[in-house]
Structure 1
Amino acid sequence: MRGDTKAIAIYVIASLVFASLTTVLALWPTHDWSNFYNARPVRGEMGLGRFLIRGTRYGDGGRSTPFAYAWRLVDSTSLGRLSAWIGYLVHQLGQWLILAKVQQQQKKSKENCDGRKDAKGIKWSNDTFYTWNWQMVYLNGSMMLYKLLQTHTTYDGLAVDVSEGTAQGSVIAVLVVALLLAIPSRGIAFGKGKKIQSLSFKETLDFVKKYHGYVMSFGTVYNFHYHPAEGTMGHLGGFFYQCLLLWQSASFYHQSHRNKYWVLLLETWVFIHGTVTAIIQPGTNWQIFSYGFAIVFLVNQVYDTPIPKRYPWIMASMYTVFSVAVALGFQGNRAYYKMTFVPVAEYLCLFGCIGIGMITAMLVRRWHLGASSVVFRAVVVALAYIAVAAGLTIGLALVLAGNLKVYNDY
């Protein structure tokens, strides 16, 4: 078995073990295993059998309120808030620090290669983890254990203070960046756009390739600490996915990090998790996630596989199955526009990132390389990076939730 394949098997098994452990520890105290399917708990249900949670919010007409996160304490505590934010900040800043140290080491490694312009710096490993990989594994592992302890003692995650839309938006922002990174291998849509002849476009892709880890880290860590370690089917799929992303955060400069089928799993698992989570809740939100992420796969992600070129009959079959599924899924309401939310939002964000990146690249290229201008350029690029990351998260949150409310009125 190849080194990267073996590593990926370990990632998947370890993630499944942690997600399963989370579920068992949450449901074991009450022995009410039916709560595994309880996607809309009411006040007094769930909460590990010891905590009083808000449950589902119902408005006028008895309808439940989307994005009113149910798994929060009715009376949040200062200790709960503090422990949730400390866990997040330690995890987040720890990941960013490790990434920054490795990039600094990469820079020095290139400078020490006899000054050659073609110096490659740190080599990608197929067999062993580097020291920084293990540092990230230890950080992630300790924070996973912290998450279990924190949930079972104070319960609340970041959900007590920030909107659920931002948590979901941060994950979809990760997927948007993944689309951008994959342009050289699968294009922008239908395999087209792989070789756009533009210096600013190339500079944008090079920049994203070099610095994407920070925004990916934010999307992963922020979402991980948003939810308490509850025991529903949705939490099981969610924590499994978050663990997969945490493994990806730990594997940079290991060949598994860029294994295209592993990356494709990371991108498409949201289709399975989003669909299952939405289906077990009454309503039609599942159409947004299921059809939306399916469209992104058929338009973009599938072109990272041999299927479009070698097996056109499989592509035709997938398009046929999708068309039939849409016809059946919208029989009740005919609201076909819902399946455009995710792909339209992702592509608008993708083009927005490309546009801002190209404009920034053109601007900084015009400045002279004096000592002061180098600092100024660095500040401008950093601010553009932060603005794009924040804009992605907040913009996608508004698309998904319609607002940034944290519902505390029930």
Structure 2
Amino acid sequence: MIPRSWSYYILYIATSFSFATLVLVLAVYPLTSWKQAMTTSRPWRGDMGFGRFVIRGSRREDGGSTITPFAYAWRRSDPTAWTHASAWGGYIVHQLGQWYIITRVFRQRAAETGAASSSSSPLQYASTYRWWNWAMVYLNVSMAFYKLIQSHLFYDGLAIDVSEAITQGSVIMILVVALILAIPRRGIAFGYPQKPITSLAYNIVWQFIKKYHAYMISLGTVMNFHYHPAEGTLAHHGGFVYQCLLLWQSSNFLHTSHRNKYWVLFLELWVLLHGSVTAYFQLGSGWQIFFYGFLVVFVANQIYDTGILSRRSSAGWWQPAVVYLLFILLVVFGFGKDDHRYYRVLFIPVAEFLAVLYCLGMGCVGYYWIQRYPSHRVFAVCLMYTLTGAGVILSLAYILAGHLRVFNDY
């Protein structure tokens, strides 16, 4: 018999794969060459589109020999006002709906904590779903099917108006928040610092991020879910699996399944798999950036949740040596004897860890601001939260693409 605690994760994974597979089947069924369509990464104008819509396809330069990076291909060539309205309308309803539920829970928790001791408050982690969990499930399921129907009626998602770099930056922002929340277990990098950080400013900032990270994670999750059309490539399939998993994570807050470290690690590592596969189908060597970049993050940070390595100073030296040697050999083998651009493996981890330090630094600035001017508390918190989230997303977008442009000139 399957333990009850496992049943939640089986449900999350099974339903996520089922919805993503439904998206894929409905997208490729009208096409004559569905096998080729599933592996398409650089579509020509008019490819895919459920056999009904003319998409822009890849933006080609130099007579078609070069593909413009971050020129999102899966957009209609003839968008209408209804296209824009349906894409943005669904996103806004979904986003505000999640934020409304989150805010109601915070208010209820604050009210009940103030009226009674925290031990008697029902708003602690529990093994059963409560009203906000079910409200989030109903919202997410409704918007998932809205997204499916909207795609087949109007096709376009937010990609019609938003740079692909921004949506990728928002995904990495989710990973950055996960790294911050895991600092007590993993440290920041390579298990360091080994001892708990005693700085009062840091601890207050960390507790704040732990308490209010839901808003930022919600932004990244919902934006990405509504960014892409419900297309039928393997890359879209992996993306929708991941987005559905994150929607489940948004549904189960204050549920014991929400903070299981192995479940959270699974969500983090899915990006390594999905990003690498998507980049591989793009051809070229871009997969090296994603695969080895996220692998560096795993080796430097996430591996400490697996038990393979220990943060204890008394732990043996040979385990890290073996792990790092295997990683080096994997890099050398993957790049081959003629490609020595090993610096590419640092793009993603450097960006992520700098973003971690930026978030903590901005939080400390806000803390000292409030300490000096207590009357500015609400304004300072809102401003620093907004600047931190926007700063991380936009900075990562510029690092990835070098611009925020939406290409509509082809």
Specify the alignment match of 2:11 in structure 1: 10
Where do 5+ consecutive residues of structure 2 fail to align? Answer: none
Structure 1 window deviating more from structure 2 (309-318 vs 68-77): it is: 309-318
CA distance in 1, matches of 2:230, 2:282: 19
Specify the alignment match of 1:36 in structure 2: 38
- Tell me if the contact between 1:69 and 1:159 (Cα under 8 Å) persists in the aligned partners: yes
Specify the alignment match of 2:274 in structure 1: 273
Specify the alignment match of 2:362 in structure 1: 356
Q: How does 1:134-149 map to 2 (within 5 A)?
A: 134-149=134-149
Specify the alignment match of 2:56 in structure 1: 54
- Tell me if the contact between 1:165 and 1:400 (Cα under 8 Å) persists in the aligned partners: yes
Specify the alignment match of 1:182 in structure 2: 182
Query: Which of 335, 338, 347 is the matching residue for 1:330?
Result: 335
Q: How far 1:100 sits from its partner (Å)?
A: 0.2
Where do 5+ consecutive residues of structure 1 fail to align? Answer: none
C-alpha change, 1:256 and 1:176, in structure 2 (3 Å) is same
Deviation string for 1:94-139 (max 9, x for gaps)?
Answer: 00000000000110111111xx58776612111x200000000000
Please give the secondary structure, in 2, of the residue aligned with 1:253: coil
Equivalent AA in structure 2 for residue 112 of structure 1: A
CA distance in 2, matches of 1:3, 1:259: 14
Q: How far 1:31 sits from its partner (Å)?
A: 4.0
Specify the alignment match of 1:83 in structure 2: 86
Structure 1 window deviating more from structure 2 (268-277 vs 192-201): it is: 192-201
Q: How far 1:2 sits from its partner (Å)?
A: 4.2
CA distance in 2, matches of 1:311, 1:403: 45
- Tell me if the contact between 2:225 and 2:243 (Cα under 8 Å) persists in the aligned partners: yes
Specify the alignment match of 1:192 in structure 2: 192
- Tell me if the contact between 2:137 and 2:251 (Cα under 8 Å) persists in the aligned partners: yes
Specify the alignment match of 1:321 in structure 2: 326
Specify the alignment match of 1:238 in structure 2: 239
Q: How does 1:213-252 map to 2 (within 5 A)?
A: 213-252=214-253
Structure 1 window deviating more from structure 2 (300-309 vs 165-174): it is: 300-309
- Tell me if the contact between 1:4 and 1:254 (Cα under 8 Å) persists in the aligned partners: no
Please give the secondary structure, in 2, of the residue aligned with 1:308: coil
Structure 1 window deviating more from structure 2 (391-400 vs 327-336): it is: 327-336
State whether structure 2 residue 292 is matched by structure 1 residue 291: yes
CA distance in 1, matches of 2:171, 2:362: 21
Q: How far 1:44 sits from its partner (Å)?
A: 1.5
- Tell me if the contact between 1:204 and 1:361 (Cα under 8 Å) persists in the aligned partners: yes
CA distance in 2, matches of 1:339, 1:65: 22
Specify the alignment match of 1:163 in structure 2: 163
CA distance in 2, matches of 1:239, 1:220: 11
Please give the secondary structure, in 2, of the residue aligned with 1:41: coil
CA distance in 1, matches of 2:317, 2:265: 19
Equivalent AA in structure 1 for residue 22 of structure 2: L
CA distance in 2, matches of 1:344, 1:31: 44
CA distance in 1, matches of 2:118, 2:223: 38
- Tell me if the contact between 1:110 and 1:121 (Cα under 8 Å) persists in the aligned partners: no
CA distance in 2, matches of 1:358, 1:387: 13
- Tell me if the contact between 2:369 and 2:380 (Cα under 8 Å) persists in the aligned partners: no
Q: How far 1:333 sits from its partner (Å)?
A: 2.6
CA distance in 1, matches of 2:206, 2:257: 21
Structure 1 window deviating more from structure 2 (278-287 vs 145-154): it is: 278-287
CA distance in 1, matches of 2:244, 2:12: 8
- Tell me if the contact between 1:181 and 1:209 (Cα under 8 Å) persists in the aligned partners: yes
Please give the secondary structure, in 2, of the residue aligned with 1:307: coil
CA distance in 2, matches of 1:328, 1:361: 47
Structure 1 window deviating more from structure 2 (398-407 vs 309-318): it is: 309-318
State whether structure 2 residue 352 is matched by structure 1 residue 346: yes
Equivalent AA in structure 1 for residue 234 of structure 2: M
State whether structure 2 residue 70 is matched by structure 1 residue 67: yes
CA distance in 1, matches of 2:163, 2:369: 35
Please give the secondary structure, in 1, of the residue aligned with 2:368: helix
Equivalent AA in structure 2 for residue 91 of structure 1: H
CA distance in 1, matches of 2:108, 2:87: 32
Deviation string for 1:249-275 (max 9, x for gaps)?
Answer: 000010000000000011110000000
Identity level (%): 51
C-alpha change, 1:304 and 1:44, in structure 2 (3 Å) is same
CA-based RMSD: 1.6
CA distance in 1, matches of 2:167, 2:318: 38
- Tell me if the contact between 1:48 and 1:230 (Cα under 8 Å) persists in the aligned partners: yes
Q: TM-score when scaled to structure 1?
A: 0.94
Q: TM-score when scaled to structure 2?
A: 0.94
C-alpha change, 1:312 and 1:106, in structure 2 (3 Å) is farther
CA distance in 2, matches of 1:112, 1:312: 52
Deviation string for 1:265-301 (max 9, x for gaps)?
Answer: 1111000000011111111111110100000000001
Specify the alignment match of 2:47 in structure 1: 45
Structure 1 window deviating more from structure 2 (255-264 vs 310-319): it is: 310-319
CA distance in 2, matches of 1:4, 1:385: 34
Structure 1 window deviating more from structure 2 (251-260 vs 317-326): it is: 317-326
Specify the alignment match of 2:306 in structure 1: 305
C-alpha change, 1:244 and 1:314, in structure 2 (3 Å) is farther
Equivalent AA in structure 2 for residue 99 of structure 1: I
Specify the alignment match of 2:404 in structure 1: 404
